[in-house]
Structures are given as structure tokens and as C-alpha cells.
Amino acid sequence: MVTRVASRKPFAAYGFRIWIGLLALLVAQGLAGFARQQISGHHVTGLTDTTPWGLYIIGFVFFVGASAGSTIIGLMVHAFGRKDYERLATRAILVGFLSLAAAVTFIAADVGRTERMFLLPWYWHNPTSMFFYTSITYYMFAAILLAELYYTVRLTRGSTDARDRSMAKWLAILAVPFALGVVHAPHGALFAVVKARGFWNNPLLPPHFAVVALVSGTALMVLVTVATSWLKKSDLVGKSTLAHMGALLAFFIALAGFFDFFDWLVFAYSDKAEGVIAWDILFGSNVMLSVVHVAGYFAAFVFLLYVLMRRREWLVPALAAASVVTLVAVAAYRYNLVTVGQAVPLLPFIPRSHYSPSWTEISIAVAIVALIALSYSILTRLLPMEDAPPRSEERAVASGGLAPAGGTS
């Protein structure tokens, strides 16, 4: 039997209205900041000719990564037969789509001529520009996610049409390689192809970006799952599914740490001025961000392993804490990546530049995140999110999925 989650009065709860009101206020203050930026120009930001990319670009790459990484849930359901993830499918697609929307909104805030931005790639184009290429991928990825959302919602609403199931399956399977290989890795290339910036000009940056996308996307979905279960006061998925998500997150963190370690090892041995200066910045003015990045990954990884192997009773709070710490660490990584690449002087007689985001930038960035949270909060009330209570672990295993990581629901 299919359960329609959306009630007849989806916005009736008092707490929900306060939450929406708070988000609306944050969006409104950001709109005021955006209006100020449009009227007075980008000089109200902390950006300069020596550091032309800042918080908006950091937000952009963070959310593109989260968007790509969240598609992993669809892969679990349809490619690996993990039916226990099915209740997260619609939510994951929505998180992916809204993260992509957040990324594009950050770009809209960043460019000097927002009104011209949407002529790209339809009217104006340059095939040698990575920016042109990535702009095409947003539309394609958004189309895939919307189509996937359409078919998944139909299935959630009780459709038994084989075509709906087949389309949802193949779109979910297509979404992962597309998100990582066609959308997110090229965002790494956006930086990696810039030969003027030695800190970025590295062929490993695109795959590194793809791995960090998996980290942030999985962490975001873990956080969404735990938070939703807590708010609904009922488990969205079973404990073993949560444990499996935790194990996945730990694996992706280890993979990202592997890339970080060898990146930094090469920098430590670099005798080139650019390498020495970049190292000096990473462990000088940006040391707090470097510590948050490395210690965040390390703490989340060790904590997850400890809880998964020894303390299953801590699983839910541990996952919540690890996912938050991981997201903060990824944000620190993105911040360092974008700013250190620009802080290294282009010519020896130019001093190092320093960037601090202005309050206008911060207010607009907060508003974009609030807008996405607002959209998510409303859409999850309007769209059917789950089709049944958590399925038993036995059924997941019997359906040919991966063995659960352990525990019971």
C-alpha cells in the first residue's frame, strides 16, 4: 500500500512556519545585499584585480560538488540493488537539483553582468573555454535530474508502469558518471587549465574535484537523512543503511585524503617560487583553514571507523557530527584552493594579495544557502518523498544488493 506523506495542510505546523519565516528573512537580507551590489558595483565585495574570485566561486564549486555527489544514492538503488536506499531516492535527486541551482545562483551573484550570463551558451559561445563547456553541462545535468525526479515521483505515487521504473533506473545510473565525469571533473579543469596559476595547473585536480564531490555529496545526504529522521521522529532508513552510508563516507574521505596527501607532498618538495609561496600561505596566513581541512577529514574518518566498528549505539549522532565536520572540511578545502591559487603573485615585483570576504558577500552567500533550504523545505512538503516505511535488511540482501554493513533497523 502506498502512503502519501504530503498532508492536506503541509505548511500548518507552527515550528515549520517559524523555520520558513527565518529562511525568508535571510533571503530578504541577501536580496538587499544583492541590490546594493548591483547598484554600487562589485566594489562592495572583498574582491580585487589581484583576487578576482572569492566567496561566490567557493560557494559555486562547493555546491556543484554536492550536487554531483548526491547522485550516489540513485546509483545505490538502481545499479547496486540497494532497495533500502529507495526511500532516499527522491530526496537525493531534489538535493542534487537544488545544489546545482545554488551553484548557478552563486555564479549569477559573481558575474559583473548577470543579465548577459544566461545568453551563454545559447547565443554566445567559445568552444575553447572551460566556462562555456561547463555552462552546457548545467543545463544537461539539470534536465537529467528533473527527468529522474519526474519518474521517481511517479513511482513514489504508486505507478506500476514498467517504463517509469526503467526510465528512473537508467536516468539514475546515467546521472552518476555524468555528474562526476561531465559536470564536476571539468570544474576541476576550469582551474587546472590555467597555466598562469601553478597552484592549480595540475592534471590531478579534475579527479581530485570528482572525489571531493563524492565526499560532500555523501556527507550532505547523510546529514539530510539524519536530520529528516530526527525532525519526523521516525527512521527514514534502517540503522544498517545508515551504517553503510557512514562507511561510504569514510571511504570517500580516505580517497580525498589520499589525493590531498600527495598534492601536499609534491608542494613540500617544490623548489619553484610558486610552490614555496603556496606552501608558505597554506601554513602561514591560511593555516587555520588548512587545519580545519586536514583535521576535519581525519577526525571524521577516525570517528566514523570507531563508531562503525565499536560503538554502533552512537551511530546516529556520530553520523550527524561526522557529516557536519566533513562538510566544513570540504568548505575549508575549497576556500584554500580558490584563494591560495590567486594569492601567489603573478610577477616577482607584485606583492602577495590577501582576500577577506566582505559583509555583502557573506550576506548574499548566506541568502543563497537559505534560499536553497527554503526551496527544499517547501518542495519536500509538496512532493511525495517516501513510499513505505524502512524496508527490512533481509529484503535488501535478498534483492541482490551489497551486504549491509551490520546492525538492525
Partner 1 sequence: MPRYGMVIDLDRCMGCRACMEACKVENNTPEGAFWMHVFRFEEGEYPDTKVGFLPRPCQHCDNAPCVKVCPVQARHMQEDGVVLTDFKRCIGCRYCIIACPYGVNHFNWQPPEDAYYLDWDDADVEKVTGGAVPPYLNPDLGKPHGDRGTLVAGGGHYEGVTEKCTFCVQRLEKGLLPACAANCPVSVFSFGDLDDPESAPSQALRSKQAFRLKEELNTEPKVYYIGQPPPASDVRPIEIVSSTGGE
Angstrom distance (rounded) from CA 180 to CA 240: 26
Question: Which residues in 346-368 are b (16+ Cβ under 10 Å) and which e?
Answer: eeeeeeebebebbebbbbbbbbb
Given a contact cutoff of 8 angstroms between Cβ atoms, the answer to whether 247 and 322 are in contact is no
Residue placing its CB nearer to partner 1 in the complex, 194 or 320? 194
Given a contact cutoff of 8 angstroms between Cβ atoms, the answer to whether 139 and 132 are in contact is no
Angstrom distance (rounded) from CA 406 to CA 409: 10
Given a contact cutoff of 8 angstroms between Cβ atoms, the answer to whether 6 and 364 are in contact is no
Residue placing its CB nearer to partner 1 in the complex, 19 or 132? 132
Amino acid making up residue 21: G
Residue choice 1, 9, 15, 112 for contact with partner 1 (CB under 8 A): 112
Residue choice 23, 26, 47, 221 for contact with partner 1 (CB under 8 A): 47
Q: Please identify, among the stretches 18-26, 83-91, 194-202, 248-256, the one whose residues bind partner 1 according to the rule CB under 8 A.
A: 194-202
- Asked if 13 is part of the footprint of partner 1 (rule: CB under 8 A), the reply reads no
Q: Supply the minimum distance, in Å, between the C-beta of residue 188 and partner 1.
A: 14
Residue choice 346, 382, 388, 403 for contact with partner 1 (CB under 8 A): 346
State which of positions 126-165 bind partner 1 (CB under 8 A): 126, 128-132, 135
Angstrom distance (rounded) from CA 335 to CA 341: 10
Residue placing its CB nearer to partner 1 in the complex, 165 or 354? 354
Q: Supply the minimum distance, in Å, between the C-beta of residue 36 and partner 1.
A: 12
DSSP string, 388-409: SSPPPHHHHHHTT-PPP-S---
Residue placing its CB nearer to partner 1 in the complex, 46 or 390? 46
Q: In terms of Cα–Cα distance, which of 19, 31, 1, 3 is closest to 227?
A: 19
Residue choice 119, 143, 291, 388 for contact with partner 1 (CB under 8 A): 119
Q: Supply the minimum distance, in Å, between the C-beta of residue 136 and partner 1.
A: 10
Q: Supply the minimum distance, in Å, between the C-beta of residue 273 and partner 1.
A: 5
- Asked if 196 is part of the footprint of partner 1 (rule: CB under 8 A), the reply reads yes
Q: Supply the minimum distance, in Å, between the C-beta of residue 132 and partner 1.
A: 4
Residue choice 41, 158, 284, 389 for contact with partner 1 (CB under 8 A): 41
- Asked if 265 is part of the footprint of partner 1 (rule: CB under 8 A), the reply reads no
Q: Where are the alpha helices (DSSP H) in 157-285?
A: 162-177, 185-192, 205-232, 239-268, 273-282
Given a contact cutoff of 8 angstroms between Cβ atoms, the answer to whether 200 and 208 are in contact is no
Residue placing its CB nearer to partner 1 in the complex, 121 or 217? 121
Three cell numbers, residue 265: 607532498
Q: Supply the minimum distance, in Å, between the C-beta of residue 110 and partner 1.
A: 7
Given a contact cutoff of 8 angstroms between Cβ atoms, the answer to whether 391 and 57 are in contact is no
Residues that bind partner 1 (CB under 8 A): 40-43, 47-53, 107, 110-113, 116-117, 119-121, 124-126, 128-132, 135, 193-197, 273, 342, 346-351, 353
